[in-house]
Each structure stands twice: as C-alpha cells, then as structure tokens.
Amino acid sequence: MTTGQYFRNFLLRTDEKTLFKMDHYLDVYDGLMGPWMGKPVSFLEIGVYKGGSLRMWRDFFSPKASLTFLDIDPACKALEIPGTEVRIGDQTDVAFLQKTAAERGPFDIIVDDGGHKMDQQLTSFRTLWPQLRDGGLYIVEDVHTSYWPGFGGGFRAPGSFVEFAKDLIDRMHSWYTEDDAGFPLHPMARELGSIAFHDSLIVLKKQIKQPPISITSQNGKIGGSRKILEVRGRKSIF
Ligand SMILES: C[S@@+](CC[C@H](N)C(=O)[O-])C[C@H]1O[C@@H](n2cnc3c(N)ncnc32)[C@H](O)[C@@H]1O
C-alpha cells in the first residue's frame, strides 16, 4: 500500500502549529509507512516542539490509534489535540519512560525526535526497545548529531548513536559467529529484523526471530537446515 505521498502533501495542510522535520524525511516516511496507513496503531513520538507533527500522525493513522507524545517542555501540554495525549517528562528519565510505556504501550512505532543528544537517544532506545511490539519500528531522527561534539558526538566517536547502531549490525549477525568468546551470540540477533540508515535517520525493525534456516527446494519439495549456524572454520559457503 502506498501513502499517496501523504507526508509530502501534509506540508500544504499544516496550520499555525509549526511542523519541524528535515525535507527528505517526508520521502522516507512516504516510502516506509504505507503498511501502517489507516491502522489502529499504538504510536509514540518523543519531541513535540510547536506541535506540528501531532496532526500529521493523527490524520495518518486510524481514529482508533493510540497516539502518545512526550516533551520536557511543560508548555507542550497545551498543544494536545483530540485523539492525542501529550506527557511531560525527560526522555532520559527511565522511570518516566517506563511509566508511560506501562500506561500507553506497548508501541508499534516509536519516533525519537527529542533532544538529539547521545545520552538521550541511547537511554530512550535502551528503555523503549523492549516496549516495541514484534514487527514494530523504532525511528531515530536527526542522527547527524552523532557527528556534533556539542551533542556528545564526533567522527566515529565511541558512544555516539550512529556508532551504537553500527554495532547493532554486528549483533544482528552474531548467529554466524566463529568466535564465541570475542563475538558471542547477542540477544539482538533474535529481535532485530533490520536496520536502515538513511541520511540523518535510522529505522530499526523489531522482528522476533528463530535461528535462521537455509532452504532448498527441488521439484516443489522444500528442505530446511540450520547447519550454517554450526559449521566452523568456513572456507566456502557450500
Ligand atoms: C525537534 S523538536 C520536535 C519537533 C516535532 N517532533 C516536529 O516534528 O515538529 C525537539 C523537541 O524535543 C524536546 N526535548 C529536548 N530535550 C528533551 C528531553 N530530554 N526529553 C524530552 N523532550 C526533549 C524539546 O523541548 C523540543 O520540543
């Protein structure tokens, strides 16, 4: 299902409440969000600012969707609109995030468009990833701050969100380790379906997985094996 360029077209439908996104995110969202259009999702966005994204997301999902928005600025509570709930708190406050998730989660989609500092993005991710449903999306906007020292980043800075996400690529592949001590099987291998790196935007898809299977099919007869996970000292894929 396509969004019919819902997100790009929304720019023409904004009201006095300013929407604040990078231009190309709209195309990413139009490419990504089709399967969720009109669905009664449980959605969480960190970062309200002037409130422009509340109506964008509300009108995109089903009227039955549960839409939660967080911001540290108490003034944002006044930007709540029907069909949304704004909660005031700090995205690094684990107890606040857990309470929000207990009362409003689990979530199908989480968007982190909050303060964009490394500790904020990492604490929110670590706390909220377990609150994401199987099949759900965790989206972190403005990850160019991973390259900005003022936000705790820098080029290949240890502890930046981009470096953390790059590391998750390895953890996702840790089924295939040949080094149990140095590169052990990581729990994210069972939970992370994909990571997409767009410019400034990272999309992590949660997918609760069984160990991967290689399949063969001949004359319509399908065979499966997990041998690839057991073979060590590989020199060839076959
Ligand atoms: C980029 S703006 C959000 C823009 C909005 N999502 C939109 O699409 O129009 C960032 C917001 O994050 C909020 N913020 C900053 N630090 C925060 C924190 N530690 N916890 C929660 N929100 C925070 C700011 O108050 C600001 O309103």
CA of 140 to the centre of ligand 1 (A): 12
Digitized pLDDT (tens) for each residue of the chain, 238 residues in all: 899 999 999 999 999 999 999 999 999 999 999 999 999 999 999 999 999 999 999 999 999 999 999 999 999 999 999 999 999 999 999 999 999 999 999 999 999 999 999 999 999 999 999 999 999 999 999 999 999 999 999 999 999 999 999 999 999 999 999 999 999 999 999 999 999 999 999 999 999 999 999 999 999 999 999 988 888 888 887 7
Is the minimum distance from the CB of 160 to ligand 1 under 6 angstroms? no
- 116 is annotated as an active-site residue: yes
What pLDDT shows up at residue 115?
98
What pLDDT shows up at residue 1?
82
What pLDDT shows up at residue 237?
72
CA of 100 to the centre of ligand 1 (A): 16
Q: Which atom of ligand 1 is nearest to the CA of 91?
A: 20
Could you tell me if residue 138 is inside a domain? yes
CA of 71 to the centre of ligand 1 (A): 6
- Contacts of residue 171, defined as CB under 8 A and 6 or more positions apart, other chains included, come to 186, 188, 189, 192
Could you tell me if residue 231 is inside a domain? no
Could you tell me if residue 232 is inside a domain? no
Could you tell me if residue 237 is inside a domain? no
How many domains does the chain contain in total? 1
Q: For residue 163, give both structure tokens.
A: 């470096």
Pocket test for ligand 1, best of 71, 112, 142 (most atoms within 8 A of CB): 71
CATH number at residue 116: 3.40.50.150
User: Domain of 182?
Assistant: 6-213
Strands (E), 22-158: 42-46, 66-71, 85-88, 107-112, 132-140
Q: Which helix (H) or strand (E) holds 223?
A: strand 221-225
Q: Which atom of ligand 1 is nearest to the CA of 111?
A: 6
Could you tell me if residue 236 is inside a domain? no
